[in-house]
Chains A and B, each alone.
Chain A
Amino acid sequence: MADLSKEFEGSIHLKYRKREIIFVVTVLVLALIWFAVQKYLPTGNAGEVQITVGGEIYGTYSLSEEKEIPIRVENGYNIVSISNGVVRVTEADCPDLLCVKMHSISKENQAICCLPHRVVVRIIEGNEGEEDWIDSETY
């Protein structure tokens, strides 16, 4: 309790205050740099959907095709659908079903994950079918 009552009297040592401010500023700067690197680093065209299970590549599919992909894992399944350049998990039997409730993805590096099944569905660079996709998305 001793340290608290000191605080209530409003007499925190400036030296300690400074450490805290440095800590907060460091976190902020780190977050900004991290964000900027992701945002402004040149990226290719979102073209393919890569699915990994426990880090192993399960399959890679074109973003421009219309497809339903059933993923079988040790403890269940997820069904991924690719339609009009948008990817989502439509069905699963994981305990939380968060992967199904998650937003759909359509841009490079975006990802959907299902932690209980160790599944990551991620959009990566690819040139296959890129024209179709750009046409429908930007114009």
Chain B
Amino acid sequence: MIRLKQVSKIYPSGVRALVSLNLEIGPSEFVFLVGPSGAGKSTMLKLLYRSEIPTAGQVLVGGVDIGKLSIRQLPGLRQRIGVVFQDYKLLPQRTVSENVAFALKVLGTSRREIDRRTHSALDLVGLREQADLMPGQLSGGQQQRVCLARAIVNTPPVLLCDEPTGNLDPETSWDIMRLLTRINQHGTTIVVATHNKMIVDSMRRRVVTIDGGRLILDQPRGGYPVGVG
């Protein structure tokens, strides 16, 4: 599903965020991406949804070298990848359901289909009651779930999460992880960049550790590596 071949990313500032990284992630896999701050986790996710392009190497998603996509082909990729952000990136002047429906509206989905999918996405994340509230009226965990609902409403085969529990208390973090597990059970490939030791340790999923832009550990059923911040 996802494949990185000798991928390096050097930012224009000269920072080497990723160095000759190789990684393969199969369909329906659930992968934690861990490493100290500045290791290159967010950079790797950005390469996967082509918010950044690699300086060297290839990034393949569904067999397509996405570094070579033209601007015209980019929307096709983005429609197949859902992204959850630490800062939610919700539209503050729209209701919860409008925020979720937004992802479908821009694609020209029919109104009935939009309503149906928005409802089921909000049901899944447990925000049916909050559908008509504004994001500002929600707690952080609820906003994170809205962001999640928006990311999956188009049922993309790949879901990328950048510190989805970064701002949340342990209980809410677990809610989010349970949701991700359920989504993963439906066949969605999920990559989660996180610092949350407790969660990584108890989920016993594949853990990929990067440090200084290099892959240093890849455990099939791992925990949070010792000595990593």
Asked if chains A and B come from one complex, the reply is no
